[in-house]
Amino acid sequence: MPDGLGMMSYVKLSFQNALNGVNTTSGHWFPFVSESVSEDRAKMESKQNRFRYNEPNSRFGLRTVGGDLVVEVDPLTIGAMFMGALGTCVTTSASTHKDHLFTEANSHYGEGLPIQPFKLDIYRDCGSHDVYKNLFANSLTMKFAHGEFLGATMGVIGGNHETGAPVTPSFYTEVLAPKLDFTQCSMQIKGAAIDDFTSLEIQILNNLEARPTLNGREYPTRWRRSNFRQWRVTGAFDMVDRVLWDEWDASSSSPLAVAVAYSPTNALTIEIPDFEFDTLGGNVGGQGVANASFTGRAKHDTVTGKAGSALLRNTDYDMDTYGAGTIA
């Protein structure tokens, strides 16, 4: 008997090879913290006058899906989020592990599909589970904070909602998918270690929008980019020296790298080859340590041909590529 308990919910992400299609070998079960994925059903309101004071009947119009999925990061399932946000994965194998390099796709996945779509099966412990198809990762935010597990929030956009029968989820064990946390973080600017950061967020923005057409369907079947793909960085650091201040003051760009290593075979590294500060402000607010907040962004690097990348190392030998791979 369902009780509507969050602890008894599940989320499964499956990549699609085409609109409304599902690649059944690419299912990723997500332990998750929270989700806000829902269908928006816009209404068409009639404005006709019919010799009465009351509003006339309305009809449902365009139907779209949107919301967030929030997780604590492990070195297995986070790869599906990077694949959704960036679109390209190359996997290399070693005797003890696999390295998955996620980089930005520079072409559309298909007609009306700016990046590879996926579906989410979400069970909320209340009868049928919800199936959301033709979704895209519109944003991915990685949160590094002292005293916390590494967190990730994926913002989704898309369309098509239906229901299905609940199934029994099959999560990875915590031995295979250990959560990453703040004690495993290290950061570099210009190749030199920086240990003054107190918080950091890296956000990938795809800036997608639905492009509905007069094709007889209530769900959109085309999506487009409305702006450049963007990488945004925000954070704070203790003002113990002038290193970061001088970078900002010189208006220079520098390589930024963040590594989180649970073990030699379970790790994540995010690299931004051409990072520049937008704002940096720090003032003395009292008797304690002065802390400066900043914002910045990644620019297209002409040497590497990208704005950023993520290298994920894990020990799963069944996951050849995240978008079309197989989970045993």
Return per-residue pLDDT of the chain as tens, 328 residues: 667 888 888 999 989 888 887 665 668 888 999 999 999 988 888 888 989 999 888 888 888 999 999 999 999 889 999 999 999 998 888 889 999 999 999 988 888 899 999 999 999 988 888 999 999 999 999 999 989 999 999 999 998 899 988 888 888 887 778 899 999 999 988 888 888 889 999 999 999 998 888 887 888 888 899 999 999 999 998 887 777 777 777 777 889 999 999 999 999 999 999 999 999 887 777 777 888 889 999 999 999 999 999 999 998 755 555 665 443 3
Nearest to 133 by CA among 186, 79, 64: 64
Pairing of the two strands 266-282 and 253-263: antiparallel
For residue range 170-202, what is the model confidence (pLDDT) as tens digits? 888 877 788 999 999 999 888 888 888 899 999
E strands along 124-217, which residues?
129-145, 151-158, 161-164, 185-189, 192-193, 197-205, 208-210
Could you give the CA distance from residue 83 to residue 80 in angstroms, rounded to a whole number? 5
Would you give the distance in Å from CA 284 to the centre of its chain? 35
Say what the pLDDT of residue 326 is. 40
Residue 269 in tokens:
């590294």
Say what the pLDDT of residue 197 is. 87
Please return the burial class of 171, using the count of CB atoms within 10 Å of its CB with bins 0-12, 13-18 and 19+.
middle
- For the chain, the maximum distance between any two Cα atoms, rounded to a whole number of angstroms, is 79
Say what the pLDDT of residue 249 is. 74
Q: What is the CA radius of gyration of the chain?
A: 22
Full-prediction pTM beyond 0.95?
no
DSSP 58-122: EEEEEEEEEEEEEEE--TTTHHHHHHHHHEEEEEEE-SS-EEEEEEE--S-SBTTBSS--EEEEE
Position 119, amino acid: K
